[in-house]
Structure 1
Amino acid sequence: MKLKNIVFYSALALGVAASANAAQSEIRFDGFPDFDSSLKVLLPEFEKESNIKVDYLMNNHGDHHTKLTTNLATGSGAGDVIVVDVEKIGPFVASGGLVNLSEKYGADKYADRFAPYAWTQGKGGDGNMYGIPVDLGPGVMYYRTDIFEKAGIDVNDAIKDWDSYIAAGEKLKKQNVQLIASAADVAQAIIFTTVPEGEGLYFDKDGNPVVTSERFVHAFEVAKEIREKGLDGRILAWSNEWYEGFRNGTFATQQSGAWLLGHLNNWIAPETKGKWAVSNLPDGIYGSWGGSFLSIPTQSENQDEAWKLIEFMTTDRENQLQHFETIAAFPANVTTYDDELFNEGVEFLGGQKARQLFAEVAKNIKPVAPAKGDHVARSIILENALMEVLDEGKDIKTALAEAERLIKRRTRNL
């Protein structure tokens, strides 16, 4: 009898130990706000289904990517799943520190579920996937309906072309309202959305910078005209003055991604609910304004578990919709676009069925492959050359020619 009890309790102990070990599988997710809000909703179901516990580490957007740059360079310190912004996916893939998801997990079988342009952005130069899109930033124009009405502006007339947009700005100026926070946002919109086929944002297919082309000259010219006519507020994005501008109606339009809706509604200017709407970008352009990818660093010791979480968050329709509902991060998974959620009015936007517009924009964005030097070129063009033109009156072609030389020098050894 005693022997039987010993055997029974030993077996029971082994079973408990095995269960404990199974439950102890643990991974870490590294990201930036508001991903933590989404994870709080999604993780309980994932952990229940998979027996994988997920901890997460959130840093602000800039610090998160700075930390990852160091982690990938040193081969240590990164989470098992990392969020990578679209602006960083090119250099991070080129660093060689991310797992080839096509080769290891057959990720390409999911290609049809995602917006083609975003799927392309997650690829490396070898054509394999290194980052799975988790959300998109379809570019739209937010505008104050009450201010437009008071100024007698029809939004459809205002977005016909850039001249019409500037004309609307001149009407707004008479009402003591700025057209936009910063003219630089207009330049960015044109640069990002008018990329010729076969080119990247800043480089051609052979890696040569294209920043002196007509696309950049035109973008700078439109922005300069807005600045010279006193139609922008010279307000930097993500500054306290920017937040106050949304709250107080200092400026009447803002070009951004669909994701801005969540920020406006949740914390920037919730008291302006019902006073905003969205439209297509001016001049008939379609473009991406942000977006995020999920990747696995090669340094991860839990790559299989990490892949299960990525599949859960990106390939599953319901989880993508929940991510969308929680933080207004627009789904990268196109199988969600026929959901009834897209036909619902958005209260913050006065009941407008804005998600239909977001989906239409996402479907019309053309793929633009990222390059490893994009982050360097972006800084030189948008933070240096453009500011010299807008703030100091520097000649556009001179500024772009100098920027091209600087880009060549700084990307020579990438």
Structure 2
Amino acid sequence: MPTARAARRTAVRLGAVALAGALLAACGGSTEGASDSAGGKVTVTVDLFGSFGYKEAGLYAEYEKLHPNVTIKQTDTEDEADYWKSLQTRLAGGGGLADVQAVEVGRIASVAQQQSDKFEDLRKHGAERLQAQFSDAKWAAATGKNGEVLGLGTDVGPEAICYRTDLFAKAGLPTDREELAKKWSTWDGYLELGRQYKAKAAGNSAWIDSVGSLYSVIIGQEKERYYDSSGKLIWDTNPALKTAWDTSVTAAKDGLSAKLDQWSPQWNQAFSAGSFATLPCPAWMLGYIKGQAGDAGKGKWDIAALPGGAGNWGGSYLTVPRAAKHKKEAYELIAWLTAPEQQEKLFRKHGSFPSATGAIAKIHDATDPYFSGAPIGKIFGDAAKAAPVQVLGVHDQNVNQQITNALGEVERKGVSSEQAWANAKKGVDNTIG
């Protein structure tokens, strides 16, 4: 999902439900081949990871109302790594695939460069007409070697810091988002506030959930992370990556982490237990926090600008496997879900920042009462504009996983930085060859 705002275009806005239905009919009209359930009831299966928020934001219900013959059935895997492993197994066998499969941005280069034969070329269904809705970078990342359109962008992940105002106040730290943004304008400033929090925090509350999440948000500020623009793997010689590593190791050695694996049951429980005071927060994390902290967390969280400048962490695509049972209906659904109107609704209700350029200007005034009325449209909008357009590689997510695994050894087992780095290198070599 990493992408900065490239060229801004004005997408055509659908003015009414009737017009929305007409546009979808037009998209469907160019489909090669008829649905195997034409004229009857169709169940479109959607397989996702994490928290996309479509059901929670009421978008499935709205779509089913517009299309009475369609029922949407969603399955969800919390951990993306588990999801991707399962998807690869099913793609290899050709069975068990949903009509719609999500792909995380760290995997999209693999789809575009190595697996284009496994996914539907959405040009067959008229997808080229949607290109103007998206930034150049978002669209290009899901384009195959021969121009195939292999997915439609859902969101991007401009970054900020989410924090617990109640825990800050108990530790004697300021709670105003503007003041905090100044105090942690650098990562050194952020860690220094963390040390102050640790000295006065109530109970066992830590400054941050894990050093793996700290690393991920810092490396998300870089254009080149694991590959350079020529496609060369550079992760182990990239000075920016080493800086992100060293900062994360410092946080671990200073005892600032709650030592929680993201997406684990323990991590989920920690949201309501107050086990950490700050969380590196790409826009899509807002919906996850709401889901885990629940109503009791409303008004206890706030959001401030990211230390060290803007960055991007995450974002996804919706694809249609070639083995999907209902390709036509699947395409019509993902075209609707990723349209500017739906992306705007999703951001206001769930926090997923739009990849559709036509939605971005419309959300600048958005605030979120759950996060103490934080101006989420401005905070994440400004971050999206300033974030670099990141170079994506085939094994981005695999490399990232090995690095965060190694950092976990530092914070939980006390492994030295040098040994953990060697373990990360070995893990990358074993994973990608």
Fold in common (TM above 0.5): yes
Deviation of the 1:161 alpha carbon: 0.8
Residue pair 2:106, 2:395 contacting (<8 A) in 1 also:
no
Query: Alpha carbons of 1:259 and 1:361: their partners in 2 closer, same or farther (altered >3 Å)?
Result: same
Deviation of the 1:253 alpha carbon: 1.0
Residue pair 1:136, 1:329 contacting (<8 A) in 2 also:
yes
- Map 1:41-120; keep pairs closer than 5 Å: 41-47=58-64, 49=66, 52-62=69-79, 63-93=82-112, 94-96=114-116, 97-101=118-122, 103-105=123-125, 107-120=127-140
Matched with 1:281 is 306
Matched with 1:346 is 368
Secondary structure of 2:98 counterpart? coil
Task: Give distance in 2, aligned partners of 1:169 and 1:83.
Answer: 36
Secondary structure of 1:138 counterpart? strand
Residue pair 1:69, 1:92 contacting (<8 A) in 2 also:
no
Residue pair 1:136, 1:290 contacting (<8 A) in 2 also:
yes
Query: Alpha carbons of 1:201 and 1:256: their partners in 2 closer, same or farther (altered >3 Å)?
Result: farther
Larger deviation, residues 233-242 vs 248-257: 233-242
Larger deviation, residues 163-172 vs 42-51: 42-51
Matched with 1:236 is 261
Q: Normalising by structure 1, what TM-score?
A: 0.81
Query: Alpha carbons of 1:159 and 1:95: their partners in 2 closer, same or farther (altered >3 Å)?
Result: same
Query: Alpha carbons of 1:43 and 1:275: their partners in 2 closer, same or farther (altered >3 Å)?
Result: closer
Task: Give distance in 2, aligned partners of 1:100 and 1:171.
Answer: 53
Residue pair 2:98, 2:324 contacting (<8 A) in 1 also:
yes
Deviation of the 1:163 alpha carbon: 1.3
1:225 to 250, 257, 266: 250
5+ residue gaps, structure 2: 1-36
Matched with 2:44 is 27
Deviation of the 1:142 alpha carbon: 0.4
Deviation of the 1:371 alpha carbon: 2.2
Task: Give distance in 1, aligned partners of 2:271 and 2:66.
Answer: 42
Matched with 2:150 is 130
Deviation of the 1:61 alpha carbon: 3.0
Secondary structure of 1:222 counterpart? helix
- Map 1:4-403; keep pairs closer than 5 Å: 22-32=39-49, 34-35=51-52, 38=55, 41-47=58-64, 49=66, 52-62=69-79, 63-93=82-112, 94-96=114-116, 97-101=118-122, 103-105=123-125, 107-125=127-145, 128-149=148-169, 150-153=171-174, 154-176=179-201, 177-196=205-224, 201-202=226-227, 205-284=230-309, 286-315=310-339, 317-339=340-362, 342-383=364-405, 385-396=406-417, 399-400=420-421, 403=424
User: Counterpart of 2:193 in structure 1: which amino acid?
Assistant: A
Deviation of the 1:352 alpha carbon: 1.9
Secondary structure of 2:316 counterpart? strand
Q: Deviations over 1:276-330 (max 9, x none)?
A: 211121111x222222211011122432332221211112x32223333443333
Deviation of the 1:165 alpha carbon: 0.9
Task: Give distance in 2, aligned partners of 1:393 and 1:202.
Answer: 29
Residue pair 1:209, 1:408 contacting (<8 A) in 2 also:
no
Residue pair 1:116, 1:367 contacting (<8 A) in 2 also:
no
Residue pair 1:121, 1:368 contacting (<8 A) in 2 also:
no
Task: Give distance in 1, aligned partners of 2:432 and 2:210.
Answer: 28
Residue pair 1:38, 1:323 contacting (<8 A) in 2 also:
no
Residue pair 1:224, 1:389 contacting (<8 A) in 2 also:
yes
Task: Give distance in 2, aligned partners of 1:26 and 1:348.
Answer: 34
Secondary structure of 2:108 counterpart? helix
5+ residue gaps, structure 1: 1-19
Task: Give distance in 2, aligned partners of 1:261 and 1:377.
Answer: 25
Query: Alpha carbons of 1:78 and 1:278: their partners in 2 closer, same or farther (altered >3 Å)?
Result: same
Identical-residue share of aligned pairs (%):
26
Query: Alpha carbons of 1:28 and 1:392: their partners in 2 closer, same or farther (altered >3 Å)?
Result: closer
Residue pair 1:376, 1:407 contacting (<8 A) in 2 also:
yes
RMSD: 3.0
Task: Give distance in 2, aligned partners of 1:40 and 1:392.
Answer: 40
Higher helix share: 1
Larger Cα Rg: Structure 1 or Structure 2?
Answer: 1
Larger deviation, residues 392-401 vs 158-167: 392-401
Matched with 2:432 is 411
Equivalenced residue count is: 385
Deviation of the 1:58 alpha carbon: 0.6
Task: Give distance in 1, aligned partners of 2:337 and 2:401.
Answer: 31
Secondary structure of 1:338 counterpart? helix
Q: Normalising by structure 2, what TM-score?
A: 0.78
Deviation of the 1:357 alpha carbon: 1.2
Q: Deviations over 1:6-49 (max 9, x none)?
A: xxxxxxxxxxxxxx951335533223464575288334554555
